[in-house]
Structure 1
Amino acid sequence: MMINALKLILLLTGILLTSAQQHVDTVDHWRAKFDNLSDVVYRSKNANWLGIRKVSKQHGDSIFVVNTKNHGQTVYRIKNSELTFLNEEGVLGKHGQKVIFLNLLTGKTFNFDNVIGIYTLEQQNSYGLLFNDHHLKVYDTFGRQLYEIANVDNLTATDSKNTIYLSKLYNGKSEVVETTVSQKEVLYKTINKIRKMWLSDSGKQLLIIEVTEDTDKDRLVVFETGNYPKKTLELNIPKNAMVNFSSIQDGTSYLISARVNVETKEEPLVDVWYGNDPYVNQHFKMFSKRNFWIWHPKSNKLQVIPVPKNIEVGSINNDRYFLTYFPRRGHNFLTSEPELNAAQIYDLKSNSYTDIGDIKLTKRIGKEWPLLLNHSLYTSSDGKWFVASHDGIKWTLYHSDGSKVMIIEKVGLEQPVFSAKSDHIYFESSNGLWDFDIKLKKLTALDIGIGKMTKIKNYILKTDDYIATSFLPTEKVLTEIYDKDENVISFQLFQSGKGYEAIPATKNRVDKLIYNPEMTSFYTLEANFNLPPTLFSYDKKNQRSLLFDGNIKDSGAKKLKQEIYRYHAAGKNLSGILLYPIGFDPKKIYPMIVRIYDMQRHLSNSYLSPNKIFPEGIQIRTLLERGYFVFLPDTTVGEKGPGLSALECVHNALDVVLNNPFIDRKKIGLCGQSYGGYKTNFIATHSDRFAAYLSGAGISDLINNYYSYSINWNKPLYFASNTYYQMGTAPADDKERYLKNNPILSVEKINAPILLWAGKKDGNVPYTQTMEFYIGLRRYKKDVVALFYQNGDHSFSDGTPEQIDLSKKVLDWFDYFLLDKDDIVWIDKQMKKDAD
């Protein structure tokens, strides 16, 4: 009787016994048995050691530190921490206020509590710990305390080599102290409060901002670091100003800017928004004062940059020429940030301006959808050149003085990267790597990645608002070559006009590529749909060997099977991934769940961990264990728009995959979340090929969304129409296409049950979009259940009450409609009209 009662309980809760288990177990308990390796990998300076987190629900997370030079034979395990390596001899792990130091040579560990800051000192082979009792203590790698400083007021900075700078209170004054293992020296004393202290990007200057008694001014004090530190600059800045100290050509000069935020007060009665407000409630980006200086440390010459009020100044890595512009001028209400319009290059020497016109954002092809580059100007490291685009399609090369050199007449060139000597520009593209010779003014297609998506992996990118300094640290170019049709990736080195294979083409997913500074040793974190994440090393002959697998046990992964189906839709060749049920029996037919988002071909080598909750709302591995096919088709956006294109893509994908005789054509479900939720909503109102739908945190009203405001991004959502939805225009300019792609306008046509879900604290897609769709479905008496999670955001983290509840309800929903388990009480309440 007890066995029968237990079976009844399991049946009522909708929890399946997996085919691999011979004992009663819940889905949650089954999932908890599977460990995994995180894709966060820590690297020591020379890559002699790697640190990786092992995620375990049963035993708690741990960090494993692996020696790469003896093929992973030396492995240390410490508690879950954030890692900081000290040379190749030690590593610090910090979790909350607990710190552990592991000596990598002896294996000994030293534990510390109540730590709020850690500082490595490479040249001294020591480390400092700041405790919450305001004591700084410095230790060597054998755990011996070298010295201690009290009364530290939590303002610290370090060059990570041999020096820690700190501020402390002494006799009513603020002191800035320079500390090394061999000496402690008071650099500066002031009666004023120090509100900020930091090192410049080059590490050559220590910067201090102190609050003066003056009601209008604070003070910036600059010290030159090194063997004999000295004060080199004192500068009055506006009260409460934010200061940027932008290095030009590795610290030969600096652009100093001081900006004061506009103070906005929330009225207790009413919050007033004006129609002519260019900041659209983004007042945290609005400044009442702007001041700019150029400073030359060698001559200690400080010069004011005299630009008109409200004009922004940006460094193009040159001490004579600067980018100037009026912020947010001519906002097109299509892009996330205003484009750079009416830009000028200012010549400090002649006090003159050169117009360079309107600058547009260019596209960069991603694995899912085209992305917009975040910067408008890309400068060289020597400050002589920059490139920009005036149409978002082609690049134009400029001298730093703003004079145009030429338009590079090639479509499809993406991320620009200047060579180390600033004499070439390399361009990423979806068709190989391109090289522009600045001297010869010649563009050449290199024999690397032809016909494939090619990205540069080893460039340095320094960004500041509309400007990015993008360059290679050496003459070597490390490229990632990705075949998006086959989902195959490889890596090549390019040097002296020749390409060398670094990592051969693999069908595995490379979640991390790690290499030493010389790029002579390579390590990867690889996975596949049936291979848990594993660390590998590659020798000089590109032979791969196992470095560390975390002892992950998942024998069931080897039983997973998938097929790739090809089809054509929305003007493109697309693919769909079909995953087979665990324990597949060719004598049976099985239901199928179709999950949509955008391009999904890159997911074919994503490890199907039982604990993987992406995509949100469904657990693919659990569905396979429960006897479902799962199909992941590509969807893309064609001329018709995102909704109609998704409909065409999914229908064409079904036409192909349903040639598989083992799929039950009458038992197919469709699901998606976020962008996939919008597409699910649209398809549900236009298709008759599905038995049930699941839509999470999706848009139901495309026009309403365009005119909505995002709490998460602190900006209007119109930019989403130009990025994710790829509408490319505003509703007023293309009403017909907006109307035709709007799910809510056809809500009365839905003909299968739909489960909706959203988090009420979703600051990305307002939950009211889900509510609107629910109201429409209810109005036309459609079968709908909506789940509104009071504390839910756009996505639910694993293990939260929201994620646990949603996952169970999703399984219930599909079991009910696709496996005919029609005795689930909470669904019966909707489907059986006479149910209690």
Structure 2
Amino acid sequence: MKIIDKILQIIILILMFIAQQLPAQVDLQKLEEATEHSEEIRFLSTSRNGSWKVWQSSYETKPPQLKIADSHHPETLFTQEGVGAWKQVGDKGLLMKQGEDLKYRILGTNKETVHHHVKEFGYQESQNFFWILHNKKLSKALKIYNHDSKLINIISDVERIFALKNELILLIKKNENNELYCYNGRNLKLIWSGTAELYRIYESGLVTKGYTLILQETKGLTTYYVNENAHLTALSLDEGEYFDDVSQYPSADVKAVYLRLSHKKEKEIEKSMVDIWYGKDFDLEQHFHEKPFHRYVLWYPLENRIVSADRKRFGKMTAVGKSGLFLTKEIDSTLVDPHDKKGKDYPERFFIYNPEINSHLFVDEISQGIHISPSGKWLLYRKDSRWNVYNTLTNQRKEIDLPEYSTPYYCSSDKVLWVRGNEIWLQNLRNFAKSKQGTFTGTIEILNAEKQTSELGYSIIYPTVGLKHELLLKIKEDYSVRSSVVSWKNGRSLYLILNTDDRITEVSYNQISKSYTWIRENYNKAPEIIIKKPNEQARTLYASQQPASTKMITMKRLHYKGPNNEDLSAILYFPPNFKEDKKYPVVLSIYEMQSQNANKYLPPTFKNSRGFNERFFLESGYIILLPDISPGDKEPGYSALHCVNNALDQLATIQQADMKRVGLVGQSFGGYQTNFIATQSDRFAAYISGASISDVINTSFAFNYNHFSADYWRYEDGQFRFGDFVTHKQRYIDNNPLYYAHQVNAPMLLWTGTADKNVNPEQTRTMYNVLRKHKKTVIALFYQDELHALTRNSSRKDLSIKMLEWFGYFLKDHQDVPWINKQIKKHSDRVAFRTSEKFSY
């Protein structure tokens, strides 16, 4: 027995030694525990007097929590479970909806009331009351309360509520009749009654006030103007009074309502047999579904008059302040498709439209956006690397002596505050006199400026700042994430944050408490809510929970040259418990420029729409490299190869980086570049490419079902920057992964969603087919009914784990992965069988 026991002990010791030598697999339990110790702060808000902060804490698997903190006593923290919606009321009120129940709590007291069978609720800030609409179990009663929870009014049989800026619009059903009332906190006033259903309601914006009613009738939507005396005026046009949709936009004329009237255009197709596509077709989306036809009109209800611009020459327009004028652009008749020239800024012909005399005055050819003054008197825009100003009253243009990188903000009817790099200037547009207001040690960004966009798109904006109150400035150090935050007023600066490497977001100022709030985070520091008062140190109100390993992650920047000899950098993260005397496998993740995110928190989560989670790889013992990739004259494939090679050269100077165990991952455009690099490089041990393009020649003229157009505009002027195919055909050929796929010399994992409409899943299948033909090690994952980025948490978790297993297999020798072994073993067996068959006699 002693001999047997001795043998068993030896066997156990041998097995233990072998187990120690075997590489560990993906530690799923460890990663799942890390996700459960992570928290995201969302929807941070402040009470009117600045005393109370409310936010939602979101977690990986458990339900989100509503958290309430007293700014004066941070140790006092309330947590509320199961809150689906909430709203702060005045200085200390809080509404919280849980299912059909609504709680109203007066913060700082023990007073709380619960309301049952609640359908909707809201807070009318201008009158300082809150309202609760009950469902039919309580007779659809609308109850109005003041901020102390005292009942002010009860109105029964309320079907719907439309909350406007200064009043509530109530829809009450009485028998077969619908009645519309205006309630201002005191009085209830009938403004319309009828059998039609209310579709939409707007404040008219007219000098005579009143409302625009959109009613749903049997034949379609009808539009009415109702004045304060409940007098109705119907909209009627030559083509009829019924529409499929009606929307109201801001009007520059206080006597006119600006409307978009829409008719559904029936898809002209012989459903039984064939859909005919003509070469002269402009918008190909019409071949797939009914697309509405829009008409834009100015309606003068008091004059019973309609004004419509030339629809063949001009499209929609946007209000130029309250000047009575509108900005519009000429339709480019040279375009073959609505997306032509969409990939870059190109000159468009803009006009000022005067509806009073139905005239269009040419402004200029403009390609880089227009900044409209609130009064409508001034237009600012860039052209030929200079700023220009256009006076809509005199129709005169003038060049401004300021560089194109300057940013304007209107601060009065004729004055503009310019941010010029690290300087602030104030300019009077009447005489163009300007004076410097301040100089800082980095590039300035105004955090609390307002930038309202227009109906013409995001490039047409109304940027304003108010100089009577503090401006919050972020001063960013060039070529770095380091920044300061300054409160600036009348030329005086108060530094709230000085030279921090932390990421600062959601900066706000409360006028009543004279206090500031922001969220602070870094790659190794979970988000924290910070509060500060003048002449006091900033303090942490709340720190979100994080895994214990967070603070052990370290980071370094690598510097190298881009394809145009420009300075680029890469973020290099080191795992927790990093040891100087150890070699680590490395994973590169690529997608254009990433260095600006060096101070962004790295949360551990399986909810990764592209599968790759930097934190999981760090927790699993990898070094992570995120290099910048800039476009160059060599086009996207070779530019990416150039940047990645230069980043790898710098990585090679890091002794702990195992240059024989380096993997590359990319998705979408980064996936295309991964595909190309895989065909040209011998520096990687494995690749992962997701939702990616493998054949740029095929896809450049293939149909994109996301945009409903041919994709050539993205290749000519978009991300790819190839230029026209006929002129630059060689660029497409040289940068096409498919043509060089036979040169891939490391295993590739491909993935896509089968419902991806942005990049056809067949592009992934094409890459798989060519690699399979050339007997390369390849596996393709087709996530059923998923899109360009994964949407289901089950798919996201599966891909996250498979990425860890893939790189673990080829970079860390984790051999016990069945789904990978199935490919490797079959491939090896097939090669062995064919070899034996070849040499058998």
What's the TM-score bracket when you normalise by the shorter of the two chains?
Answer: 0.7 to 0.9
In the alignment, what sits opposite 1:129?
Answer: 132
- CA 542–568 in structure 1, closer or farther in 2 if over 3 Å, else same: farther
After TM superposition, give the deviation of residue 719 of structure 1 in Å: 4.8
User: Is the Cα contact below 8 Å between 1:568 and 1:652 reproduced in 2?
Assistant: yes
**Aligned equivalent of 1:345, options 348, 352, 367:** 352
The worse-fitting range, judged by mean Cα deviation, of 176-185 and 443-452 is 443-452
After TM superposition, give the deviation of residue 545 of structure 1 in Å: 0.8
- CA 294–471 in structure 1, closer or farther in 2 if over 3 Å, else same: farther
- CA 52–211 in structure 1, closer or farther in 2 if over 3 Å, else same: closer
User: Is the Cα contact below 8 Å between 1:433 and 1:450 reproduced in 2?
Assistant: no
Q: Secondary structure at the match of 1:257?
A: strand
In the alignment, what sits opposite 2:43?
Answer: 40
- CA 697–515 in structure 1, closer or farther in 2 if over 3 Å, else same: farther
Note the alpha carbon deviations across 1:420-470, whole angstroms, 9 max, x for none.
3442153576x6656554133357776445653635532241422244322
Note the alpha carbon deviations across 1:657-700, whole angstroms, 9 max, x for none.
21111111111111112222122112111111000011111222
After TM superposition, give the deviation of residue 380 of structure 1 in Å: 0.4
In the alignment, what sits opposite 2:172?
Answer: 168
Question: Which runs of structure 2 are paired with 1:316-335 in the superposition (5 Å)?
Answer: 316-327=320-331, 329-331=333-335, 333-335=340-342
- CA 101–465 in structure 1, closer or farther in 2 if over 3 Å, else same: farther
CA distance in 2, matches of 1:305, 1:449: 50
Note the alpha carbon deviations across 1:31-65, whole angstroms, 9 max, x for none.
34313133432333454332222123464210112
In the alignment, what sits opposite 1:373?
Answer: none
In the alignment, what sits opposite 2:562?
Answer: 569
In the alignment, what sits opposite 1:293?
Answer: 299
Note the alpha carbon deviations across 1:359-382, whole angstroms, 9 max, x for none.
21x3xxxxxxxxxxxxx4321011
In the alignment, what sits opposite 1:515?
Answer: 509
Note the alpha carbon deviations across 1:185-223, whole angstroms, 9 max, x for none.
32221243332223457995433122467x698232234
The worse-fitting range, judged by mean Cα deviation, of 264-273 and 535-544 is 264-273
CA distance in 2, matches of 1:589, 1:655: 17
Question: Which runs of structure 2 are paired with 1:436-447 in the superposition (5 Å)?
Answer: 436-441=427-432, 447=438
After TM superposition, give the deviation of residue 308 of structure 1 in Å: 2.6
In the alignment, what sits opposite 1:465?
Answer: 456
CA distance in 2, matches of 1:774, 1:62: 44
The worse-fitting range, judged by mean Cα deviation, of 553-562 and 306-315 is 306-315
User: Is the Cα contact below 8 Å between 1:433 and 1:446 reproduced in 2?
Assistant: yes
After TM superposition, give the deviation of residue 566 of structure 1 in Å: 1.4
User: Is the Cα contact below 8 Å between 2:220 and 2:242 reproduced in 1?
Assistant: yes
After TM superposition, give the deviation of residue 471 of structure 1 in Å: 1.9
In the alignment, what sits opposite 1:138?
Answer: 143
**Aligned equivalent of 1:764, options 746, 758, 762:** 758
After TM superposition, give the deviation of residue 743 of structure 1 in Å: 2.1
Unaligned runs of 5+ in 1: 18-24, 363-375
Note the alpha carbon deviations across 1:339-360, whole angstroms, 9 max, x for none.
6733322233444331224321
CA distance in 2, matches of 1:72, 1:422: 49
User: Is the Cα contact below 8 Å between 2:265 and 2:291 reproduced in 1?
Assistant: no
CA distance in 1, matches of 2:423, 2:679: 41
Q: Is 1:256 aligned with 2:261?
A: no
Give the TM-score, by structure 1 length: 0.86
In the alignment, what sits opposite 1:206?
Answer: 211
CA distance in 2, matches of 1:84, 1:716: 46
In the alignment, what sits opposite 1:775?
Answer: 769
- CA 231–117 in structure 1, closer or farther in 2 if over 3 Å, else same: farther
Q: Is 1:102 aligned with 2:108?
A: no
The worse-fitting range, judged by mean Cα deviation, of 553-562 and 806-815 is 553-562
CA distance in 1, matches of 2:413, 2:20: 68
Unaligned runs of 5+ in 2: 1-7, 831-841
The worse-fitting range, judged by mean Cα deviation, of 93-102 and 500-509 is 93-102
**Aligned equivalent of 1:623, options 617, 628, 638:** 617
After TM superposition, give the deviation of residue 590 of structure 1 in Å: 1.3
RMSD: 3.7
- CA 553–348 in structure 1, closer or farther in 2 if over 3 Å, else same: closer
CA distance in 2, matches of 1:196, 1:751: 61
Q: Secondary structure at the match of 1:275?
A: coil
Counterpart AA for 2:432 = K
Higher alpha-carbon Rg: 2
User: Is the Cα contact below 8 Å between 1:671 and 1:677 reproduced in 2?
Assistant: yes
- CA 457–294 in structure 1, closer or farther in 2 if over 3 Å, else same: farther
CA distance in 1, matches of 2:333, 2:495: 47
CA distance in 2, matches of 1:719, 1:103: 56
- CA 324–546 in structure 1, closer or farther in 2 if over 3 Å, else same: closer
CA distance in 1, matches of 2:398, 2:158: 56
In the alignment, what sits opposite 1:400?
Answer: 392
In the alignment, what sits opposite 1:654?
Answer: 648
After TM superposition, give the deviation of residue 579 of structure 1 in Å: 1.4
Note the alpha carbon deviations across 1:734-772, whole angstroms, 9 max, x for none.
223333233222222211111011111223332222222
CA distance in 1, matches of 2:148, 2:17: 58
CA distance in 1, matches of 2:574, 2:352: 60
CA distance in 2, matches of 1:46, 1:721: 52
- CA 315–602 in structure 1, closer or farther in 2 if over 3 Å, else same: same
CA distance in 2, matches of 1:397, 1:738: 41
CA distance in 1, matches of 2:478, 2:75: 32
CA distance in 2, matches of 1:185, 1:308: 40
Q: Is 1:30 aligned with 2:33?
A: yes
CA distance in 2, matches of 1:632, 1:478: 31
CA distance in 2, matches of 1:465, 1:350: 22
Q: Secondary structure at the match of 1:605?
A: coil
User: Is the Cα contact below 8 Å between 1:157 and 1:198 reproduced in 2?
Assistant: no
- CA 789–54 in structure 1, closer or farther in 2 if over 3 Å, else same: same
CA distance in 1, matches of 2:19, 2:212: 66
CA distance in 2, matches of 1:347, 1:182: 41
In the alignment, what sits opposite 1:821?
Answer: 814
User: Is the Cα contact below 8 Å between 1:347 and 1:401 reproduced in 2?
Assistant: no
User: Is the Cα contact below 8 Å between 1:239 and 1:260 reproduced in 2?
Assistant: no
Question: Which runs of structure 2 are paired with 1:273-672 in the superposition (5 Å)?
Answer: 273-281=277-285, 287=293, 289-293=295-299, 304-310=306-312, 311-312=314-315, 313-327=317-331, 329-331=333-335, 333-335=340-342, 341-360=348-367, 362=368, 376-390=369-383, 393-401=385-393, 403-408=395-400, 410-413=402-405, 415-427=407-419, 435-441=426-432, 447-448=438-439, 452=443, 454-466=445-457, 467-475=460-468, 476-483=470-477, 485-516=479-510, 520-541=514-535, 543-550=537-544, 552-570=545-563, 571-611=565-605, 613=607, 616-672=610-666
Q: Is 1:62 aligned with 2:68?
A: no
CA distance in 2, matches of 1:167, 1:711: 41
After TM superposition, give the deviation of residue 182 of structure 1 in Å: 4.0
CA distance in 1, matches of 2:510, 2:48: 7
CA distance in 2, matches of 1:678, 1:478: 40
Q: Secondary structure at the match of 1:555?
A: coil
CA distance in 1, matches of 2:551, 2:202: 52
CA distance in 2, matches of 1:278, 1:573: 43
Count of aligned pairs between the two proteins: 798
Q: Is 1:152 aligned with 2:158?
A: yes
Counterpart AA for 1:89 = K
User: Is the Cα contact below 8 Å between 1:14 and 1:811 reproduced in 2?
Assistant: no
Counterpart AA for 1:53 = Q
Q: Secondary structure at the match of 1:503?
A: strand
Counterpart AA for 1:91 = L
CA distance in 1, matches of 2:486, 2:183: 44
User: Is the Cα contact below 8 Å between 1:329 and 1:341 reproduced in 2?
Assistant: no
Give the TM-score, by structure 2 length: 0.85
User: Is the Cα contact below 8 Å between 1:693 and 1:754 reproduced in 2?
Assistant: yes
User: Is the Cα contact below 8 Å between 2:181 and 2:191 reproduced in 1?
Assistant: yes
